Amino acid sequence: MLRIGLTGGIGCGKSTVSLLFEQLGVPILDADEISHQLVQIGQPALETIRDIFGSEMLLENGALNRVALKNLIFENSLAKKQLESILHPLIFQEICYQNDLLTAPYCIVSVPLLFETHSESLVNRILVVNCDEETQIERVTKRDNLPLKQIQSILATQVSATFRQNHADDIIENSKNNALAEQVKKLHNFYLSLSPL
């Protein structure tokens, strides 16, 4: 099966693009969703996070304290690397497992940090959702209510838009007033034509 890796910087509109592909009947394998499932109560990854980072990473009911964990990895690059070493292999293992169950002509594998985690080998083609930095900041401010400094710090940890564009097979432009649905439909037909099924 043809695997299309969907990626892009924070606030570029990956979720919206995923949804448009999903509405066309395309299966979506989402690394963020899988990551959330892996840290539910009773999952081994959650126990590993508690063992390494301490019980303050859990809420009273035993669920992951997302705020505490986010603050920790935001301030501590070593902790961030440790967390990635726990979760990334499990996420990619689950993506491969779910992919093997699919029978569609192609699927979208949404990995926000595809380049940063050197996961290009997971996919056959790379689709980058691109927009200007001003729009990214505007969207993330509205969506996550984060201070500008924190958004700029997140942007600094991601590869540049230029890098993404230079390493993309396909690009969707999603700054203001781009005909997003039309771009997705055009790529959908193109991917169907490439599919071995």
Least Cα distance to 27 among 35, 19, 36, 16 occurs for 19
Note the pLDDT of residue 73: 86
Same domain, 84 and 42: yes
- Least confident stretch, 14-18, 87-91, 100-104, 193-197: 193-197
- Whether this model's pTM surpasses 0.85: yes
The tally of domains found in the chain comes to: 2
Same domain, 92 and 120: no
The pLDDT tens digits for 24-47 are 999 999 999 999 999 999 999 999
Task: Give the three-state DSSP class for 104.
Answer: coil
Q: How many CA atoms lie within 13 Å of 37's alpha carbon, on the beta-carbon side?
A: 10
- Out of 74, 101, 128, a domain closes at 101
Model confidence at 157, pLDDT cuts 50, 70, 90, reads confident
Same domain, 131 and 118: yes
Note the pLDDT of residue 154: 83
Q: CA angle, corner 26, sides to 24 and 28, nearest 5?
A: 130
Same domain, 95 and 76: yes
Model confidence at 71, pLDDT cuts 50, 70, 90, reads confident
Same domain, 63 and 116: no
If you search the block for the tokens 């063992």, which residue do you land on? Answer: 51
Same domain, 127 and 195: yes
Note the pLDDT of residue 176: 72
Note the pLDDT of residue 196: 80
The pLDDT tens digits for 86-110 are 999 999 999 999 999 999 999 999 9
CB-based contact 26:188 (threshold 8 Å): yes
Give me the domain span that covers residue 44: 32-101
Same domain, 22 and 113: yes
Same domain, 132 and 67: no
Same domain, 22 and 111: yes
- Out of 72, 101, 130, a domain closes at 101
Same domain, 111 and 197: yes
Same domain, 64 and 48: yes
- Out of 101, 121, 145, a domain closes at 101
d(CA 122, CA 140): 27
Q: What is the CATH number of the domain that holds 41?
A: 3.40.50.300
Same domain, 86 and 115: no
Model confidence at 15, pLDDT cuts 50, 70, 90, reads very high
Average pLDDT over residues 54-71: 93
Query: Which pair of tokens denotes residue 19?
Result: 């949804």
